[in-house]
Amino acid sequence: MTDEQTITIVRSAKRRRTIQTKYGDGHLWIYLPAGMSRREEQQWVDKIVQKMEKRKQRDYSRSNDTWLWDRAQELNKEFFDGSLDFSIRFVSNQHSRFGSCTSVDKTIRISERVATMPGWVKDYVILHEMAHLLYPDHSKEFWAQVDRYKFAERAKGYLIAIGMEADEAL
């Protein structure tokens, strides 16, 4: 975060204990008591920057979830005639899978790792998980549905090539 913004420390003799921050246009102002030691100052700056990073990441995830929802709805219309009802979001706790679906409560979770992949791979992972809403297994019917996507084989190969076994990938 410090690469993208300027941080200005403002010390005030009037300020005794409180610390205040203001942020705008890539500039962070941190208002500190004048009597605070340099060591305490650095601890507070580190803590505030870390909080800003978490907030920025949370905002990024929310905007990605909005994109994900919109894209899933487009694919729902194209491949499932808009008939599927589900929730979908990116998650950060999937390290051995690219996605998962709980067909009972109609929730789809896509690993955040997928967000940085090419669009045709993202679409494949989304479609794969959406197909599980109809077929909770990897039956012939399931694969017939998934393989309607013109880049299905290419996406499977991509996912395998980045180090996952075919059965673990999804």
Cβ contact 150:124 at 8 Å:
no
Please report the pLDDT score of residue 112 as a whole number: 86
Q: pLDDT, tens digit, for every residue of 98-127?
A: 999 998 899 999 998 888 889 999 999 999
Q: What pLDDT is stored for residue 55 in this prediction?
A: 72
Nearest to 125 by CA among 110, 141, 113: 110
| Distance separating alpha carbons of residues 85 and 164, to the nearest angstrom | 29
- Assign 3-state DSSP to the chain and report helix, strand, coil percentages, each to 5: 50, 20, 30
Q: pTM value? A: 0.63
Cα–Cα distance for residue pair 4/160, rounded to 1 Å: 35
pLDDT of residue 161: 87
Provide the β-strand partners of residue 121: none
Residue pair 76/149 in contact by the 8 Å Cβ criterion: no
Which residues, 6+ apart, have CB-to-CB distance to 38 below 8 Å? none
Contact by Cβ (8 Å): 109, 91: yes
Contact 99, 111 (CB under 8 A): yes
Q: What is the pLDDT of residue 80?
A: 96
**All CATH 3.30.2010.10 domain ranges in the chain, comma separated:** 60-169
pLDDT (tens digit, 9 = 90+) per residue, 10-60?
898 888 888 888 887 778 888 999 888 999 989 998 888 888 777 766 655
State the architecture of 60-169 in CATH terms.
2-Layer Sandwich (3.30)
